[in-house]
């Protein structure tokens, strides 16, 4: 039987592109489609987000040659400061501090702007002999048979592969077409994302300030800049988005304090509605869901993309295993589901509890969580556990995530 490729991927976002490279690294031929032309995603005005890439996910980018392509665009995270507070009485003195000394002097992760990461991934994809990128192209339907999957495009073309990977994001067409249900939990929160320049250096410190209406994160970027993720009630975000730049900066400064000196906005601001979304299952006949198509979570712990990157590395391992044992690729998909679904559900559940625990001003909960932060700050084994979790170094790691 002649197939156009071993794997077809729908969705050339950060997870889809990484999956293509990871599977090609293990010997698979891949065709990847995206609905948008590649240049659209690279535009500074398209996606202002920056991502905290956990140390283990970054390890995969070293193996795939992406880390070298990001030279000068990554900021190591050497310290994480966590505090609880409110705008009236300020920050609680019981704070939690993780530093790279506890992580064996290695950074806990790396901050990188999404557009730089996407450019590095796109260039690597286009240079790979094993990957064909087709964009813009919109999928119109697919047919899963016992021997292959056939996909048809809106422009009339049709292609076939052994398996189809759906990396087409939260509103996944492929998930709906396969009849896979999804549970959604709306937080009635939105996150404002922007980038600021500041007078004083951040020294690689990531700050997370828990305010009753939602977490406020200041994440270090190269060249005295920081990415802001300001989560708040949807109405408060709509009001803040409507402010002129000067008034917006003064609202930011109320949360920021004066630790970095003078601030200036150096990017537009975006608002993202926040919800948790979990697919009922990750696989169907010759189909696997990956990244936000399978699970999307609150950005409070900066783990959404990292979950997708772990999916990509796990899928690459099971594909390699199928090649090594001469099996049809579709036989490996249940192993992927078994490996990743429970792991992702645990992290999504913990993220949800974390957001509920910190996004409220109920007095006993407030006192207990402040005490909790203070206690963890003093207990080294607990600190070490959280550092390893944030760095993505716990659990059964796929080969690409290992040193």
Ligand X SMILES: Cc1cc2nc3c(=O)[nH]c(=O)nc-3n(C[C@H](O)[C@H](O)[C@H](O)COP(=O)(O)OP(=O)(O)OC[C@H]3O[C@@H](n4cnc5c(N)ncnc54)[C@H](O)[C@@H]3O)c2cc1C
Q: Which of 305, 293, 306 is nearest to 389 (CA)?
A: 306
Listed in order, strand segments (DSSP E) in 74-224 are 74-77, 79-86, 90-91, 96-99, 109-113, 131-134, 139-144, 149-153, 158-166, 182-198, 205-211, 214-221
Which pair of structure tokens corresponds to residue 371? Answer: 């005490």
Map the footprint of ligand X across residues 117-156, applying CB under 6 A: 138-139
Nearer to ligand X, 34 or 284 (CB): 34
Q: Around Cβ 38, how many Cβ atoms within 10 Å?
A: 18
Map the footprint of ligand X across residues 268-297, applying CB under 6 A: 272, 291-292
Nearer to ligand X, 10 or 22 (CB): 10
List the one residue from 167, 278, 314, 315 that touches ligand X (CB under 6 A): 167
Compute the least distance from the CB of residue 384 to ligand X, in Å: 21
Does 392 contact ligand X by CB under 6 A? no
Compute the least distance from the CB of residue 258 to ligand X, in Å: 25
Which pair of structure tokens corresponds to residue 123? Answer: 């260039």
Q: Stretches 47-55, 65-73, 253-261, 335-343: which one binds ligand X (CB under 6 A)?
A: 47-55
Q: Stretches 8-16, 77-85, 97-105, 379-387: which one binds ligand X (CB under 6 A)?
A: 8-16
Does 299 contact ligand X by CB under 6 A? yes
Q: Stretches 29-37, 65-73, 175-183, 261-269: which one binds ligand X (CB under 6 A)?
A: 29-37
Q: Around Cβ 185, how many Cβ atoms within 10 Å?
A: 13
Which pair of structure tokens corresponds to residue 285? Answer: 């006949």
Nearer to ligand X, 25 or 269 (CB): 269
Site string for ligand X, 230-249 (x = CB under 6 A): --------------------
Q: How many residues lie near ligand X (CB under 6 A)?
A: 33
Nearer to ligand X, 92 or 194 (CB): 194
Q: Around Cβ 356, how many Cβ atoms within 10 Å?
A: 12
DSSP secondary-structure letter at 327?
-
Nearer to ligand X, 94 or 287 (CB): 287
Q: Stretches 45-53, 100-108, 238-246, 335-343: which one binds ligand X (CB under 6 A)?
A: 45-53
Q: Which residues pair with 9 in a beta bridge?
A: 32, 165
Q: Which of 317, 382, 372, 299 is nearest to 52 (CA)?
A: 299
DSSP, collapsed to helix, strand or coil, labels residue 42 as: helix
Compute the least distance from the CB of residue 151 to ligand X, in Å: 10
Does 215 contact ligand X by CB under 6 A? no
Compute the least distance from the CB of residue 32 to ligand X, in Å: 9
**Do the beta carbons of residue 183 and residue 278 sit within 8 Å?**
yes
Does 308 contact ligand X by CB under 6 A? yes
Long-range CB contacts (within 8 A, 24+) of 258-263: 259/200, 260/198, 260/199, 260/200, 260/202, 260/226, 261/198, 261/199, 261/200, 262/198, 262/199, 263/196, 263/197, 263/198, 263/199
Q: Which residues bind ligand X (CB under 6 A)?
A: 10-16, 33-36, 49, 51-52, 138-139, 167-169, 173, 191, 193, 229, 272, 291-292, 299, 302-306, 308
């Amino acid at each position: 039987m002649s197939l156009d490729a071993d794997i077809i991927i729908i969705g050339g976002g950060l997870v889809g592109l990484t999956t293509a490279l990871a599977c090609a690294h293990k010997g698979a031929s891949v065709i990847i489609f995206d609905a948008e032309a590649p240049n659209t995603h690279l535009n500074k005005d398209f996606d202002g987000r920056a991502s905290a890439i956990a140390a283990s996910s970054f390890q995969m980018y070293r193996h795939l040659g992406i880390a070298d392509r990001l030279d000068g665009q990554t900021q190591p995270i050497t310290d994480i400061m966590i505090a609880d507070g409110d705008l009236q009485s300020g920050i609680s003195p019981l704070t939690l501090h993780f530093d790279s000394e506890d992580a064996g002097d290695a950074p806990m992760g790396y901050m990188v702007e999404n557009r730089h990461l996407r450019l590095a991934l796109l260039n690597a994809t286009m240079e790979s002999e094993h990957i064909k990128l087709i964009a813009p192209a919109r999928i119109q339907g697919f047919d899963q048979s016992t021997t292959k999957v056939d996909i048809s495009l809106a422009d009339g073309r049709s292609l076939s592969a052994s398996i189809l990977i759906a990396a087409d994001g939260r509103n996944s067409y492929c998930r709906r077409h396969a009849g896979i249900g999804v549970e959604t939990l709306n937080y009635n929160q939105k996150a404002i994302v922007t980038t600021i320049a500041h007078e004083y250096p951040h020294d690689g410190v990531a700050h997370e300030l828990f305010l009753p209406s939602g977490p406020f994160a200041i994440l270090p970027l190269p060249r005295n800049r920081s990415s802001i993720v300001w989560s708040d009630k949807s109405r408060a975000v709509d009001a803040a988005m409507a402010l002129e730049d000067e008034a917006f900066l003064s609202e930011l400064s109320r949360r920021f304090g004066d630790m970095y000196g003078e601030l200036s906005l150096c990017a537009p601001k975006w608002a993202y509605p926040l919800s948790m979304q979990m697919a009922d299952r990750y696989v169907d006949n010759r189909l696997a869901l990956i990244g936000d198509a399978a699970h999307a979570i609150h950005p409070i712990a900066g783990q959404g993309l990292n979950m997708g990157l772990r999916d990509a590395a796990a899928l690459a391992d099971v594909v390699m295993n199928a090649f090594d044992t001469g099996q049809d690729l579709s036989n490996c998909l249940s192993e992927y589901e078994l490996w990743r679904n429970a792991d992702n559900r645990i992290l999504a559940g913990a993220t949800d509890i974390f957001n509920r625990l910190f996004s409220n001003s109920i007095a006993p909960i407030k006192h207990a969580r402040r005490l909790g932060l203070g206690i963890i700050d003093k207990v080294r084994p607990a600190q070490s556990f959280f550092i390893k979790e944030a760095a993505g170094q716990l659990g059964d790691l796929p080969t690409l995530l290992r040193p």
